[in-house]
Structure 1
Amino acid sequence: MHSAAGNITITIYPDDAAHFLDGKFKLARQSVPVTLPVTHACFAFAEPGYYAVALFHDENNSGHFETTMLGLPADGFGFSNNPTLYLGPPDLGKARFEARSGDNPIAIQMKYY
């Protein structure tokens, strides 16, 4: 993160491309205070399988992902697998990961415009 202000909001999505990034279909969401240089969070999955993570840096604690008047992200953001982005969010195939029994650490790099 480029500052310690605000929270990181982390959302877990199921392996369903038709509903990726649709908040109505999220499996879990939590906001955690920013800690620098690394912020940690933990989720428990009901069962092993494929999932995707999307997160954003809510510096002003607005509670939602903000964009500029041009439609560009105003908040920092990231996705599991740290996919390269081209004019929009990645598709599910680029962000999905396999969660197995036990710990499944993933590291996500925050991106800012």
Structure 2
Amino acid sequence: MKYIVTATLFSAMFGSAAYAESINVTIQNTTNFGTVRAAVFTNQAAFDGSQAVAKSMIKASDGHTVVTFKDLKPGRNGIAVFHDLNGNETLDRNLFGAPKEPFGFSNDPKIGFSAPRFDKFDFKFDGEPINIIINLNGA
């Protein structure tokens, strides 16, 4: 995974020390069809239960799409994304449960026959602005 901490990208959010700066996520290999959906999770149980602390949906762009999460608390986070090509708001799967649409995770973990464990795609967010690049896995 490639991530770069850059302290000068954004100004403080709402002047509150309780919340942190932005996480910018660049999703590579998108097309200009459909939308990109991204979610931030804080632990394995939240990921397993689809209990995201933040979600975003944005129109996909050709080449790459950028999603920004603002006002997140510092701590362990993991980001899961998928390119919703047909706009049905669901990651479509085949008969065997494998994704039929492109998807990815922070840290770009190796994908086997199931979603990676949270500890394979989590990262420490210390409250400073951060840029993350996620490469989509082909469907």
Fold agreement, TM-score > 0.5: yes
Matched, 1:57 2:83: yes
Q: With CA pairs under 8 Å and 6+ residues apart, which has the higher RCO, 1 or 2?
A: 2
When the two structures are aligned, how many residues end up with a matched partner?
111
| Structure 1 Cα separation of the partners of residues 85 and 122 of structure 2 | 26
Alignment deviations for residues 40-68 of structure 1 (CA, whole Å, 9 cap, x no partner): 01102432111000000001000111101
| CA apart distance, 1:103 | 1.0
Counterpart for residue 98 of structure 2: 72
- Greater strand share, 1 or 2? 2
Matched, 1:22 2:44: no
The runs of 5 or more residues in structure 2 that have no matched partner are 1-28
Determine if contact 1:11/1:53 at 8 Å carries over to the other structure. Answer: yes
SS of 1:47's partner is: coil
TM-score (norm: length of structure 2):
0.74
TM-score (norm: length of structure 1):
0.90
Counterpart for residue 5 of structure 1: 33
SS of 1:38's partner is: strand
The runs of 5 or more residues in structure 1 that have no matched partner are none
- Tell me the C-alpha RMSD between the 2 structures: 1.3
Alignment deviations for residues 53-93 of structure 1 (CA, whole Å, 9 cap, x no partner): 00000010001111012211111000000000111110011
Structure 2 vs 1, CA of residues 2 and 34 (structure 1 numbering), >3 Å: closer, same or farther? Answer: closer
Which is greater in Rg?
2
Counterpart for residue 22 of structure 2: none
Counterpart for residue 48 of structure 1: 74
| Structure 2 Cα separation of the partners of residues 69 and 2 of structure 1 | 24
SS of 1:52's partner is: strand
Q: After superposition, where does 1:72-91 map in structure 2 within 5 Å?
A: 72-91=98-117
Determine if contact 2:82/2:101 at 8 Å carries over to the other structure. Answer: yes
**4+ residue runs over 6 A deviation:** none
